[in-house]
Structure 1
């Protein structure tokens, strides 16, 4: 036991740090530092005060001078002073709050507080135990402060999360003219970095240049880091270029910061310069250059660096950071087998290793393997999934629409309390629920989140837009505008809200968003411009879309052209889609891809241009490396709409692994081209689980065949699978039953269906009209008007019903009300119904005047309806006049010649009838034959 302060420093130094602190506490535990010493140590107290009075003179300013103290002869004071310093040095490893306070009291009582090295260490000790108040108090007590004391106080503030106060203290230090060193500037740079005030880096840099401190590598490294954080890579490179002495940290800083600022090639070039300079790389360098290869997706280069790592003596399996970078690199470059091999060989896997392989599988759409890795990860005791893990797994659930698994992941997060730790987790959950169609769950989670950021708002906007809640998306966007200042908005906000403008009603709102986007400075961003082009096309403002495409002529890319080509094809502007493709080809700057061909082939199908469609088919075979199933499905649909079912079936046969969409396309093609029997036979070969679209195709085939047996079997299939409530299937069932003569059964299906689509209402109106029950059809129309607005197809069915039932006045009234009262512009199909209605009633001249009164050139179908009426009523004079018009419009249509010939036969004019038949034979024209279907059931 040490009983007095005269123990020699040499003896004290033999104790380790723990023993020395113990000695200090035991020796002075009975002393009352605030009120003097205990009575038993009064002789020590008197002697100590006497010695202090002699050896520690007071300066005119009132503080004791320490500079001469080591030269004093009194060994007691020197021993106590050395004892204090030894205790301070030994206490640096202590984390007990009482230790610095005890030392502080001893220094204060002994008069050693103004010793600057001791005070600096005491400041550091207070900082380590988190006693910032005492640090500030001690700093304020010091009358004389050198640069080390200032640095210690700034360090204390930085370590305790008071970066703004640290910057303030640095500014105060500069204002007072206190000399600073490179450490001071290094601490100031660290504080600015913590406050995201990297734009103030030039001020620190200027101070360093003025003071001649730029030769310090540590300071230069900090300046490079600060410049790069502010995305000022050129300034960081200038600092690096001016460095005389570069250490490994300097090289690593410039290599990593080039990569972080999106310049992986620069990162690799600096690595080359580093190897030429003779500086050996470490695990940080290798991790960075391998990550650069991953960013560039340069697999051969990444494999070369893998070899360099091994050759340099680094064993990736032992250096986890290097191995993790290799796993990520191989995954991003598509080498999942190599990534898995590296992962399996890692000796001590950390959570980053597991996240790297998990994310690698997810990136390569190996979702089954991703869930397997996640499950295996949970079985490792010392590894627990972190926030990055959960964000990746949640994203997978959203990508492949797994709402059940997504909810389970959400529950797991709640149990692990991960949801409350990071907003990033909540944002990923909102995004997942949105992509899985669970909009209300996403909205609930969004509303209960109090500290949401802009990502939260963007995720919720996307969830509304993806699930067709366009009005809710627009309302939420207005809330975003009131919540944040314009300077904080991101491009993601623009990209999230623009798809909500999907009709001409939203054009004004879309233009406002476009103006807002230009105001924020996103006008030059090509991704933003492409989204605006899509918006204008969806809103049917093609002039603005093409004008914007021309405006960005200097920067437009393939995505810009695809926005126009595919967008026009998807929104019914098929001719404009093909013209845009021609313009792109003439320009010759960019080449087409699969998206381009999807748009052009779809446009050809809708326009019935089979020859052009075949050309694009050949272009796809010639230019695309692999035949994508989506492209082949589009080809099947195109050939089907062009009535080339043989080519459609051939394309289907070439698909190595047809998905359900492929089967649906070919079944629909066969049923729409009056090959219903073949469609049903093909369905019997289907090994996949059918969906609603499959059954719509089958019901269409049954309707075309006119055989209720197939339709009833299909009805049973969809009931077993729970699709009977689908409103589109309800419409198809009504059509099928009414076409097969089972009107009452069709009406039962309609009445029992819950949600009724407008297609179902139209089918019922058409069914009553087809069976000559015009009054019922009009009653259904009145009932429908109370629930929804009629559309173009509604009036086709209604006018057809009036025509079949002879309700001329009612039919004409509905036709005249279409545009004025219901906003439905009449098209050719409506006019055919009116002409047929007047023709059936024998009002041929009124029908002729109706066509002439329209004012614009009518399609052949309208005149064809009048010709049929003339044939029925044997009006040869008008029929011949109408036929002349049709012969000019469609000279190769045999039906018009045959119809007029039959009119002459009815009047006994055989010579003219034979002449017309002879014309058909001479032109080798063929009329599509009619046919009847008889179903034979063998018992």
Structure 2
């Protein structure tokens, strides 16, 4: 209410003053222009403008404003007319009116003053008309400004400069150039201000050629003595990207007198063109000159230090800024630059101190601090600061704020926060005119697996650019919608032939299966035609595509073609692709070929992936050789390499070497501890794994929990398993399907099937959880329930795997369901597409052996021929031992002695068979043979957990 009264009184005062001014000072002749102004249509137009200005206020106020405005114009029209001499009129009053209006320009004031000038004939006075079209320009009505300028007949250089400045102010750069051309044609003499304005215009247009022409005109006319013009030319050259051509530097050095703006212009130019070193050199020169650095100089120098990561130099400039008195609130730009410097150099705590010391922060301060937190992975602080900005700082997030936060939401898959930002952008009407923000939202939704929402944004009627297309194609590829990605790429090529390297990356990522090979080949052809194979990155992506599609031959042939220019990334592309596709031998061969090159080079990625291939093939000697190579290289202390070494020794069953690696790097990170705990658990060192877990200096994560549950399962520690279960609930790991499966295994192996069933019912029923529950029923002799659960799994749409059939065949074996088990084995490949492996064959032999069908089991094993593993023959030997089939057992044992001569277990099994049959002589001879070969059987032991069950 108070605001309405104030505005009402102000408008009343303006109207009354205007009436008095007109009635008492002048009696001008009636003007057709003013009649046009006071007509019904124009009054409505002006009232619409007033309405926009007073939009937040009450409608009754607008009505009152309109009535008073109409009365004013009516009285103005009805006042008596008389002829007068223009020379008698004092135009200074109108000029003063315009000067005052320029402080807070608006369209209504401009129109009213225009009317007054028309009435008294002041438009004939050139300074008045020039000031008036300047007022229109500053009020945002450039059309009226231009029309008024065209009506002036006796234009001088000031008028031309004013209209060029108005064009520049309203971002009508081409119009400004046109006015300059007209000015030259009218043979109006220009001055240094004209050239300064044109230099600024051409810098915005990035028109280097015309900018050089202005420079030549400046030299020819002898106007380069004007420091402001020189500064504008330096800025123009920098904006046109010509700093390296030394034109701006040459001009700078030729300047006889340099002010602070000159130094700032050349420093900003260096920064703009990506040369922070040179920018700092100019700053150092400035400090030794007569000119004192101002807040712009300091900001430029600090930004240069940020780009170079020069924290020490930046701290010196910080100290110099404090000495010069730029710590106060009036120069917040210096503090903002310091926040960016300290953040980029990792000193985010110092950046926060600088931020908190700013008395009057602007939106840039908040954005700089948020970006600093984001770059240093202080994610929670970013969102907390945004809330603080709106509550205590009274600032609303702008485009920069949103574009800073959106990548975090995308990277961390914070879809809820991302949707909140989307809603805020819609509410503030930011999406309509800001394409990068919409592209950021498309990327965020794609990375958060919300492709439908990304599609809605992409398919909106708003404008889209190449970034939009790339983001959507990448989103489809990322979410495994390969066909949609490829279809959209074809649509892009139909719409526009302008593509970028990001387009290539996005579309090649969609070619990740043999079904996409033909499309990938067509993309290869398109790359050849479009010239995208000139860069090594594109070639590397192409090799990766062929390997992902299973065409190793094409991938290797491309590598051979570029072997002379191939970099580390090229070799890594082949090695990583082979490891991901389980082509471990090929990965090792590629590494050996890489080592034969004259300029052999590799990095931590190479070592990690080759170690992974060696681990999967269990090649201990090659692993040790690579370990030696890694120790000699700078990557020997890399945490990822150390973790890979522990895992490699774990897979190769060399736990002592794994312990040694861990001993030297035990303080690395949680991943290192997880690798060691997992290695101990895999190698049946469960007690040691539990002891190491008790010494863990980090907060355990899901991987730690799974490894410890595996250790508890091996030694039947139900009490420890329950403690881990409680820990899991405390830290919210209950939704992890792998942990649920490990819990089912633990409770089942510890004899608590009821707890295993309860965990399964309340878990996220993933493939691993189903497999564990089927195995649990089988281990407890509930074969019928295991089979029923298997069918439920198939009906629920969960894809069965080889592990599923291992659990199912184990259940059939333990429960004596031989015919069902054999039926499932026979239909594995035909019905479910799973090729039987040694793990499945072992349980078939076990099934047949348990039911007394020993010879049938032998024929089955013989039928496997060379594909039969030692595990299958070993199970057959156990069956023979159980049924006392000494003749068949001897034949099987001899076969095993050839396959694994150092496995003492086979000798012991045959010896026990001899003893059971009373053949002591044969048993004694076999025992002597074991002694002669130096073989030893590991001592057996039993465990009991004393405590609460």
**TM-score over 0.5 for the pair:** yes
Q: Which residue of 2 aligns with 1:286?
A: 298
Q: Which residue of 2 aligns with 1:842?
A: 855
1:904: Cα distance to partner? 5.8
Q: Which residue of 1 aligns with 2:250?
A: 241
- Residue 759 (structure 1) aligned with residue 772 (structure 2): no
Residue pair 1:470, 1:501 contacting (<8 A) in 2 also: no
Residue pair 1:558, 1:590 contacting (<8 A) in 2 also: no
Paired with 2:730 and 2:229, the residues of 1 have a C-alpha distance of 74
Which whole-Å deviations, capped at 9, do the CAs of 1:189-211 have from their partners, x for residues lacking one?
655665xx53x432453466478
Q: SS at 1:842's partner residue?
A: helix
Q: 1:580 to 1:305 in 2, by over 3 A?
A: farther
Residue pair 2:27, 2:79 contacting (<8 A) in 1 also: no
TM-score, with length taken from structure 2: 0.74
Q: Which residue of 1 aligns with 2:208?
A: 201
1:30: Cα distance to partner? 3.4
Paired with 1:756 and 1:347, the residues of 2 have a C-alpha distance of 55
Paired with 2:648 and 2:301, the residues of 1 have a C-alpha distance of 48
Q: SS at 2:855's partner residue?
A: coil
Q: 2:375 aligns with which of 363, 376, 390?
A: 363
Residue pair 1:220, 1:239 contacting (<8 A) in 2 also: no
- Residue 728 (structure 1) aligned with residue 738 (structure 2): yes
1:297: Cα distance to partner? 1.0
- Residue 892 (structure 1) aligned with residue 902 (structure 2): yes
Gaps (5+ residues) in structure 1? 1-19, 49-75
Match runs of 1:567-646 below 5 Å? 568-569=578-579, 572-581=582-591, 587=597, 594-610=604-620, 613=623, 633-645=643-655
Q: 1:159 aligns with which of 165, 169, 184?
A: 169
1:332: Cα distance to partner? 1.6
Q: 2:864 aligns with which of 832, 844, 851?
A: 851
1:897: Cα distance to partner? 3.6
Q: Which residue of 1 aligns with 2:133?
A: 123
Q: 2:934 aligns with which of 918, 924, 930?
A: 924
Q: Which residue of 2 aligns with 1:670?
A: 680
Q: Which residue of 1 aligns with 2:839?
A: 829
More displaced stretch, 217-226 vs 126-135: 217-226
Q: 1:680 to 1:506 in 2, by over 3 A?
A: farther
Which whole-Å deviations, capped at 9, do the CAs of 1:791-830 have from their partners, x for residues lacking one?
2223444455566677777666655544444333344434
Residue pair 2:413, 2:447 contacting (<8 A) in 1 also: yes
- Residue 34 (structure 1) aligned with residue 31 (structure 2): yes
Residue pair 1:842, 1:869 contacting (<8 A) in 2 also: no
1:299: Cα distance to partner? 2.5
RMSD of Structure 2 on Structure 1 (CA): 5.4
Residue pair 1:765, 1:780 contacting (<8 A) in 2 also: yes
Residue pair 2:192, 2:223 contacting (<8 A) in 1 also: no
Paired with 1:411 and 1:129, the residues of 2 have a C-alpha distance of 32
1:360: Cα distance to partner? 3.0
Paired with 2:764 and 2:862, the residues of 1 have a C-alpha distance of 43
Q: 2:312 aligns with which of 300, 311, 322?
A: 300
Paired with 2:108 and 2:812, the residues of 1 have a C-alpha distance of 99
Q: Which residue of 1 aligns with 2:714?
A: 704
Paired with 1:561 and 1:328, the residues of 2 have a C-alpha distance of 37
Q: 2:346 aligns with which of 334, 337, 346?
A: 334
Which whole-Å deviations, capped at 9, do the CAs of 1:455-485 have from their partners, x for residues lacking one?
566667767766xx322x7636745764795
Paired with 1:902 and 1:40, the residues of 2 have a C-alpha distance of 132
More displaced stretch, 269-278 vs 812-821: 269-278
Q: Which residue of 1 aligns with 2:60?
A: none
- Residue 263 (structure 1) aligned with residue 275 (structure 2): yes
Q: Which residue of 1 aligns with 2:870?
A: 860
Match runs of 1:479-490 below 5 Å? 479=488, 482=491, 485-486=495-496
Q: 2:802 aligns with which of 792, 803, 814?
A: 792
TM-score, with length taken from structure 1: 0.75
Paired with 2:487 and 2:201, the residues of 1 have a C-alpha distance of 37
Which whole-Å deviations, capped at 9, do the CAs of 1:295-341 have from their partners, x for residues lacking one?
11122343454466567x46455643334323322332234455455
Residue pair 1:225, 1:257 contacting (<8 A) in 2 also: yes
Residue pair 1:835, 1:865 contacting (<8 A) in 2 also: yes
Q: 2:264 aligns with which of 248, 252, 255?
A: 252
Q: Which residue of 2 aligns with 1:54?
A: none
Residue pair 2:861, 2:868 contacting (<8 A) in 1 also: no
Q: 1:124 to 1:460 in 2, by over 3 A?
A: same
Residue pair 1:443, 1:460 contacting (<8 A) in 2 also: yes
Q: SS at 2:400's partner residue?
A: helix
More displaced stretch, 320-329 vs 110-119: 110-119
Paired with 2:23 and 2:775, the residues of 1 have a C-alpha distance of 104
1:34: Cα distance to partner? 0.5
Residue pair 2:23, 2:79 contacting (<8 A) in 1 also: no
Q: Which residue of 2 aligns with 1:132?
A: 142
Q: SS at 2:147's partner residue?
A: helix
1:689: Cα distance to partner? 6.6
Residue pair 1:465, 1:500 contacting (<8 A) in 2 also: yes
More displaced stretch, 582-591 vs 815-824: 582-591
Paired with 1:265 and 1:555, the residues of 2 have a C-alpha distance of 31
Q: 1:422 to 1:670 in 2, by over 3 A?
A: same
Q: 1:389 to 1:483 in 2, by over 3 A?
A: same
Paired with 2:314 and 2:526, the residues of 1 have a C-alpha distance of 43
Paired with 2:655 and 2:776, the residues of 1 have a C-alpha distance of 29
Paired with 1:651 and 1:439, the residues of 2 have a C-alpha distance of 44
Residue pair 1:557, 1:590 contacting (<8 A) in 2 also: no
Match runs of 1:457-496 below 5 Å? 469-471=479-481, 475=484, 478-479=487-488, 482=491, 485-486=495-496, 491-492=501-502, 494-495=504-505
Paired with 1:719 and 1:316, the residues of 2 have a C-alpha distance of 51
Q: 2:337 aligns with which of 325, 330, 353?
A: 325
Q: 1:43 to 1:635 in 2, by over 3 A?
A: closer
1:687: Cα distance to partner? 8.5
Q: 1:127 to 1:775 in 2, by over 3 A?
A: closer
Paired with 1:814 and 1:922, the residues of 2 have a C-alpha distance of 45
Residue pair 1:844, 1:869 contacting (<8 A) in 2 also: no
Paired with 1:735 and 1:92, the residues of 2 have a C-alpha distance of 81
Q: SS at 1:359's partner residue?
A: helix
Paired with 1:830 and 1:242, the residues of 2 have a C-alpha distance of 82
1:291: Cα distance to partner? 1.3
Count of matched residue positions in the alignment of Structure 1 and Structure 2: 879
Paired with 1:455 and 1:789, the residues of 2 have a C-alpha distance of 37
Q: Which residue of 2 aligns with 1:60?
A: none
Q: 1:737 to 1:356 in 2, by over 3 A?
A: closer
